[in-house]
Structure 1
């Protein structure tokens, strides 16, 4: 599939999606969101791809927010539809994807860009990255899940401070607060490091990875423990379980089929 705003590369069961609007600091316009929806759906249905890395083009930004020019004249009803479409078609799609997704944050991740990163399962950043949710400076609040995902990652108090003050934080502060998993001092190593982590994930049982993502996401609900029990028990009926146990007992590396 050909995209106008994305560069898609496949290698060793991993797809790297680069948001490529460098002149606009990779801002998310409607076309880019539509293309992200299509790209993620393609991966969901592609048995040759087991994981996704999302990053931004250029040296400055992962995604520096939404494209404000597209919604500057919206009324309340149009704003509601904008947020609803984004949630359903991109951000929730990413969070609930049963294939692991890593955000490789190579620069500014602001507004919708940080919300995109937070929807991913794992976040890594270069040392120069800056993160924030500056929507209140526009008379808005985060509309793509920022008020919900940020408190789950860094706590209510820090989230209130970030969102209400609209301040940016450094990669090191984001790491200390639990917003990201790792900081790469050498920016050129970011994708390489993300790829190494993803390779270590996709070599594991595909069925178990899916079950783990589903169970972990269910921790956001009151039924999380029951969901874990269901996913755990379902694993026992899979070929992956048989192969994993046999490999352990035979003291060899498991060979999982996707």
Structure 2
């Protein structure tokens, strides 16, 4: 088990399973996102990328994002810290850094799985939406309250919600600032699944990441990229990407292993090569 020290998060990587974990760790502040946490989260994904760069194949199969404490996954940006900003230049850094942080989740090659237990508002909700899979307990609640402060969500929540739930529903969620129950978020298409309690949350997340870790990692990463390109650029760009990715993947050692094992009971061990 590898670990790296950060001020506002816990970071770990299990070399045996290939699973990474990031835990938001400011429970006394309801895991509010201050500037340090934003830098820590960006650096956390850089640390996972370094493991991939150093590996003979692919090191990281998936990353789980959860939180410390029993009240909130994340209450949003640290409002107290932002109150010290007075100039346009200082305030402009808020959305710029936050968008960079969300991009770290969204653009990291391996799947990112969010596990939400408790309140999840503002920037916390944007972290969840920037992840690839999103699980929550029934008691969790979600919302984008930025409108109540006279601003819009700074991390592209309105834009991401539009792709998830459609323009009208995205406007309703962000313009009213109303909170959603976990069931409502799931019905809207935001969450992957809702479970009864924390134990079931851990089981459900572990089940998914174990399944993802068993798949050929180059293929899993290419699928994430294809989906993101289709959403962010367009259908034709997604098709074009896939037309080049497929033959490249078909030259990999993992592809050869899968072909050799086809029709047998053998389960190949894929290495991302």
Bucket of the pairwise TM-score, normalised by the shorter protein: over 0.9
Where does residue 239 of structure 1 map in the other structure? 253
Give the superposition deviation at 1:180. 0.3
Matched, 1:2 2:9: no
Give the superposition deviation at 1:98. 0.7
Give the superposition deviation at 1:191. 2.3
Asked if the contact 1:212/1:231 (under 8 Å) is kept, the reply is: no
Unaligned runs of 5+ in 2: 53-58
Give the superposition deviation at 1:250. 3.8
Distance 1:81 1:9 in 2: 29
Distance 1:189 1:232 in 2: 36
Choose which of 239, 250, 273 in structure 2 pairs with 1:225.
Answer: 239
Distance 2:73 2:244 in 1: 37
Distance 1:3 1:192 in 2: 27
Distance 2:88 2:163 in 1: 27
What is the number of equivalent residue pairs in this alignment?
A: 257
Where does residue 97 of structure 1 map in the other structure? 108
Choose which of 19, 36, 40 in structure 1 pairs with 2:41.
Answer: 36
Tell me, what secondary structure is at the counterpart of 2:5? coil
Give the superposition deviation at 1:249. 3.9
Where does residue 69 of structure 2 map in the other structure? 58
1:91-170 matches, within 5 Å, as: 91-170=102-181
Question: Could you give the per-residue CA deviations for residues 210-255 of structure 1, whole angstroms, max 9, x where no partner exists?
Answer: 1101101011212222122222232112111111111114442122
Where does residue 56 of structure 2 map in the other structure? none
Superposition TM-score, scaled by structure 2 size: 0.90
Where does residue 195 of structure 2 map in the other structure? 184
Distance 1:126 1:10 in 2: 24
Which ranges of 4 or more aligned residues in structure 1 deviate by more than 3 Å?
A: none
Asked if the contact 1:51/1:99 (under 8 Å) is kept, the reply is: yes
Asked if the contact 1:19/1:57 (under 8 Å) is kept, the reply is: yes
Asked if the contact 1:53/1:195 (under 8 Å) is kept, the reply is: no
Asked if the contact 2:8/2:25 (under 8 Å) is kept, the reply is: yes
Distance 1:144 1:194 in 2: 25
Choose which of 74, 79, 84 in structure 2 pairs with 1:68.
Answer: 79
Tell me, what secondary structure is at the counterpart of 2:31? coil
Where does residue 85 of structure 1 map in the other structure? 97
Superposition TM-score, scaled by structure 1 size: 0.95
Give the superposition deviation at 1:42. 0.8
Distance 1:228 1:167 in 2: 39
